[in-house]
């Protein structure tokens, strides 16, 4: 499923045992509900969740966007599943570090690494 506007896009698909949600564009309070809706849709599937979130094309994330990530992590952990964030050097990595959330999120630098970790 794909949601898009000129500045933000969200798509999802299944890859092996995991659902993948890829976001592209600035993740702020205006678009965070769309990302949350897609994550919720993916996590509503039965079974223990394995979610890979590709944020490599997200150059900015505000506190509302960060809240979506934390909410996804809590939901996955409650279901005894796994969440892997795919992030490159930049704002998301910095944001996770300065908020000490890097201690809680599992991260990888590419989709391939995330797939290998999830296998």
- Contacts for 107 with CB less than 8 Å, ≥ 6 apart: 84, 85, 86, 87, 93, 96
Q: pLDDT tens, 8-31?
A: 999 999 988 899 999 999 999 999
Burial of 18 (0-12, 13-18, 19+ CB in 10 A): buried
Per the structure, the complete domain to which residue 50 belongs is given by 2-118
pLDDT of residue 4: 45
Distances (CA, A) of 118 to 68, 93, 111: 21, 20, 10
First-to-final CA distance of the chain: 24
Count of domains forming the chain: 1
Q: 61-115 pLDDT, tens per residue?
A: 999 999 999 999 999 999 999 999 999 999 999 999 999 999 999 999 999 999 9
DSSP 8-state assignment for residue 69: H
CATH number of the domain encompassing residue 53: 3.30.750.24
pLDDT value at residue 6: 60
Residue 32 in this model has a pLDDT that exceeds 60: yes
């Amino acid at each position: 499923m794909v949601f898009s506007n000129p500045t933000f896009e969200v798509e999802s698909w299944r890859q092996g045992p995991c659902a993948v949600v890829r976001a592209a564009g600035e993740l702020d309070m205006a678009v965070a509900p769309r990302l949350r809706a897609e994550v919720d849709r993916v996590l509503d599937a039965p079974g223990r969740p394995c979610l890979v979130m590709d944020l490599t094309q997200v150059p900015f994330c505000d506190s509302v966007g960060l809240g979506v990530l934390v909410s996804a992590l809590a939901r996955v952990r409650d279901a005894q599943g796994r969440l892997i964030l795919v992030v490159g050097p930049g704002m998301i990595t910095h944001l996770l570090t300065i908020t000490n959330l890097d201690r809680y999120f599992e991260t990888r630098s590419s989709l391939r690494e995330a797939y290998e970790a999830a296998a």
